[in-house]
A and B are shown apart, each in its own frame.
Chain A
Amino acid sequence: MKKIPVTVLTGFLGSGKTTLLNRNLSENHGKRIAVIENEFGEIGIDQALVINADEEVFEMNNGCICCTVRGDLIRILGNLMKRKDKFDHILVETTGMADPGPVAQTFFVDDDLRELFSLDGIVTLVDAKHVHLHLDDSSECKEQIAFADVLVLNKTDLVSGHELEQLERRVTSMNSMAKVLRAQNASVPIAALLDIGGFDLDRAMAAKPTFLEPEYPFEWAGTFEIEKGVYELVLEDGPDPTMDLVASFLDSDEHAGSRGDADHAARIWSEVARSALPGERIEIGAAEPVRLKLDSAGAKRFELRAPRRGRIGLYTQHLPSEFQLQVLDSGVAVRPSSEQTFAAGHSHDDQVTSVGIHLEGEIDGDRLSQWVSQLLRDKGTDIFRMKGILNIKGSRSRFVFQGVHMLFDGREDRPWGIEPRASDLVFIGRKLDRDELTRGFERCLA
Chain B
Amino acid sequence: MGDYVSALEVAPDGGVCIAGLGDGQVVGFDLSTGEEGFTIAAAHAGSVLGVSISPDGRYFATCGQDEVAKVWSAEGALVRELRGGGSAWVEHVAWAPAGGRIATAAGKKLCVWMPDGERIVETEPLASTVTALAWRSDGSGLAATCYGGVHILPFVAGAKMRHLAWKGSLISLAWSPDAKVIACGNQDSSVHFWRLKSGQDSQMSGYRFKPKALAWDSESKLLATSGDADVTVWDFRGKGPEGTQPLQLEGHKSLCTRLAFSPRRAVLASGSQDRSVLLWEPRKHGKPIGFAVLEDEVTGLCWHPEHHTLVGADASGTICSWEVA
Residue positions of A touching B, CB distance < 8 A: 51-52, 54, 56, 58, 60-62, 69, 71-72, 74-76, 79-85, 110-111
Q: Is B248 engaged at the interface, CB distance under 8 Å to the other chain?
A: no
Judging by beta carbons under 8 Å apart, are A52 and B87 in contact? yes
Q: Which of A54, A61, A83 contacts B22 (CB 8 A)?
A: A83
Q: Which of B22, B169, B209, B255 contacts A82 (CB 8 A)?
A: B22
Q: Which of B92-142 contact A (CB under 8 A)?
A: 107-108, 128-129, 131
CB-CB < 8 A to A52: which residues of B?
A: 87-88
**Complex: chain A residue closest to B209, CB-CB:** A111
CB-CB < 8 A to A69: which residues of B?
A: 187
Chain B 129-166 interface mask (CB, 8 Å, partner A; 1/0): 10100000000000000010000000000000000000
C-alpha gap A408/B26 in the complex (Å): 43
Q: Which of A51, A56, A62 contacts B129 (CB 8 A)?
A: A56
Query: How many B residues, CB 8 Å from partner?
Result: 28
C-alpha gap A444/B203 in the complex (Å): 40
Chain B 29-48 interface mask (CB, 8 Å, partner A; 1/0): 00000000000000000110
Judging by beta carbons under 8 Å apart, are B169 and A58 in contact? yes
C-alpha gap A72/B127 in the complex (Å): 12
C-alpha gap A302/B91 in the complex (Å): 76
Judging by beta carbons under 8 Å apart, are A79 and B129 in contact? no
Q: Is B54 engaged at the interface, CB distance under 8 Å to the other chain?
A: no
Judging by beta carbons under 8 Å apart, are B129 and A71 in contact? yes
C-alpha gap A193/B298 in the complex (Å): 35
Judging by beta carbons under 8 Å apart, are B6 and A82 in contact? yes
Judging by beta carbons under 8 Å apart, are B188 and A83 in contact? no
Judging by beta carbons under 8 Å apart, are B4 and A54 in contact? no
Q: Is B23 engaged at the interface, CB distance under 8 Å to the other chain?
A: yes
Judging by beta carbons under 8 Å apart, are B187 and A71 in contact? yes
C-alpha gap A56/B128 in the complex (Å): 6
What would 17 A/B residue contacts be, using CB atoms closer than 8 Å?
Answer: A52-B88, A54-B129, A56-B128, A56-B129, A58-B168, A60-B169, A69-B187, A71-B147, A75-B91, A75-B129, A79-B49, A83-B4, A83-B23, A83-B46, A83-B47, A110-B187, A111-B209
C-alpha gap A58/B167 in the complex (Å): 9
Q: Is B201 engaged at the interface, CB distance under 8 Å to the other chain?
A: no
CB-CB < 8 A to B21: which residues of A?
A: 84
**Complex: chain A residue closest to B167, CB-CB:** A59
CB-CB < 8 A to A85: which residues of B?
A: 23
Q: Which of A54, A71, A74, A83 contacts B107 (CB 8 A)?
A: A54
Judging by beta carbons under 8 Å apart, are B65 and A75 in contact? no
Tell me if A's interface is mostly helix, strand, loop or mixed: mixed
Residue positions of B touching A, CB distance < 8 A: 3-4, 6, 21-23, 46-47, 49, 65, 87-89, 91, 107-108, 128-129, 131, 147, 168-169, 187-188, 209-210, 255, 315
**Complex: chain A residue closest to B187, CB-CB:** A60
C-alpha gap A60/B128 in the complex (Å): 14
Q: Which of A51, A71, A80, A111 contacts B169 (CB 8 A)?
A: A71
CB-CB < 8 A to B6: which residues of A?
A: 79, 82
Q: B203 to nearest A CB, angstroms?
A: 11
CB-CB < 8 A to A61: which residues of B?
A: 188
CB-CB < 8 A to A58: which residues of B?
A: 128, 147, 168-169, 187
C-alpha gap A71/B131 in the complex (Å): 10
Q: Which 3 A-B pairs have the closest CB atoms?
A: A84-B23, A82-B22, A111-B209
CB-CB < 8 A to A80: which residues of B?
A: 47
Q: A3 to nearest B CB, angstroms?
A: 15
**Complex: chain B residue closest to A62, CB-CB:** B188
Q: A71 to nearest B CB, angstroms?
A: 5
CB-CB < 8 A to A60: which residues of B?
A: 168-169, 187-188
* Interface hub of B49, B188, B255 (most chain A Cβ within 10 A): B188
CB-CB < 8 A to B22: which residues of A?
A: 82-84
Q: B280 to nearest A CB, angstroms?
A: 23
Given contacts A72-B129, A75-B129, A82-B4, contact A56 B210 (CB under 8 A): no
**Complex: chain B residue closest to A81, CB-CB:** B4
Given contacts A58-B147, A79-B65, A83-B22, contact A74 B187 (CB under 8 A): yes
**Complex: chain B residue closest to A56, CB-CB:** B128
CB-CB < 8 A to A62: which residues of B?
A: 188
C-alpha gap A84/B65 in the complex (Å): 13
CB-CB < 8 A to A75: which residues of B?
A: 91, 129, 131
